[in-house]
Amino acid sequence: MTEGVKRAFPQWLGLVMAIIAGTFVAVQARINGALGVAIDDGFAAAAVSFGSGLVILIAVMAFSRPGRRGLGRVIEGLRDRSVPWWTVAGGGAGAFLVLSQGIAAAALGVALFTVAIVAGQTVSSLVLDRIGFGPHGVVPFQTMRVLGSALALVAVAWAVSTEFGGDKPLLLLLMPLLGGIGIGWQQAVNGRVRQLAGSSLTATFINFAIGTVVLLVATAVHVAVAGPPSPFPSDPVLYIGGAIGCVFIGVSAFLVSHTGLLVLGLGTVAGQLVGAVLLDVFVPGAGGLHWTTVAGAGLALVAVAIASIRR
């Protein structure tokens, strides 16, 4: 190989990293859910998670010259309008998803809520890849990509099938569906910010800054209506959700330009199912581990492999 020519980032490594990042999301969801139950306020728990992540990122940015330079480039682009304002608004989509968890998840049940999110994320990723909105450029529809996407939806529905049933307010499905669409858009704009700034740290910092502001406003309104949360617990483990989120957003911002939106999204979905299985094995929850969850996680891994096949 000619000296000075960069090697292409291995596709298999991007898939592995996306799956591992997805397992982090499963852990974060368990921790944030436990914090929300402990203080009886999902809004405040989400704000604490985002806010603690922002504090960590501020400290890291103070010692990272590339991160600060990247932030300067983004601010300069916003000032001269060469960078549209919506490019840095990815954190708002993340905040909306967290809020939809607090509003719709309990009413719909985990099964319908999860399937709606994955459906929105999958369709969003396919369309955004096709129109070239993400930093990976235009990625046309292909049989394997569509087949892998459909198989991923089947895998998630199978994994949570034991939780279906009962009367559900189906109109609330719009919230997680829009939240899933927002995930695909968030990953796309975070990837754009990362390319502009030349730093995943910058993209992650901006994402958490915007998301924290949105959640603080939402929490203030919620407290004014419903009253303050219960006293915060002393268990430090309940406060590491923000740190986990920093890792996930940073890794996603880096990977999206190498894997594309669809493969990144399906990889993280598969990772979430794998993480759910591992959590139920080593840190059992109230519902226990069902064989359908294990089977769904395995099928999701197959779906990712199929979607990532290139012509």
Identify the CA nearest to 251 among candidates 289, 310, 203, 305: 203
Distance between CA atoms of residues 94 and 187, nearest Å: 10
Q: Give the pLDDT score at 6.
A: 47
The amino acid at 11: Q
Dihedral over alpha carbons 206, 105, 33, 91 (to 10 degrees): 0
**6's tokens:** 């960069």
Q: Give the pLDDT score at 166.
A: 61
Q: Give the pLDDT score at 133.
A: 75
Q: Give the pLDDT score at 208.
A: 93
**Angle 174-197/65-79 helices, nearest 10 degrees?**
110
Q: How far is CA 219 from CA 37, 55, 290, in A?
A: 16, 18, 35
The amino acid at 161: S
Q: How far is CA 73 from CA 197, 198, 208, 276, 284, in A?
A: 6, 9, 18, 39, 46
Contact 23, 274 (CB under 8 A): yes
Contact 200, 67 (CB under 8 A): no
Q: Give the pLDDT score at 111.
A: 58
Q: Give the pLDDT score at 304.
A: 84
Neighbours of 111 (CB within 10 A): 18
Neighbours of 69 (CB within 10 A): 13
**pLDDT tens digits, the chain, 311 residues: what are they?**
444 444 677 888 888 999 998 888 888 877 887 888 888 888 898 899 889 999 999 999 999 999 999 999 999 999 998 889 988 999 999 888 777 766 676 566 655 667 777 788 888 888 888 887 766 666 677 788 888 888 888 887 787 777 666 666 667 778 888 888 888 888 888 888 998 999 999 999 999 999 999 999 999 999 999 999 999 999 999 999 889 989 989 999 888 888 888 888 888 888 888 887 888 788 776 566 778 778 888 888 888 888 887 65
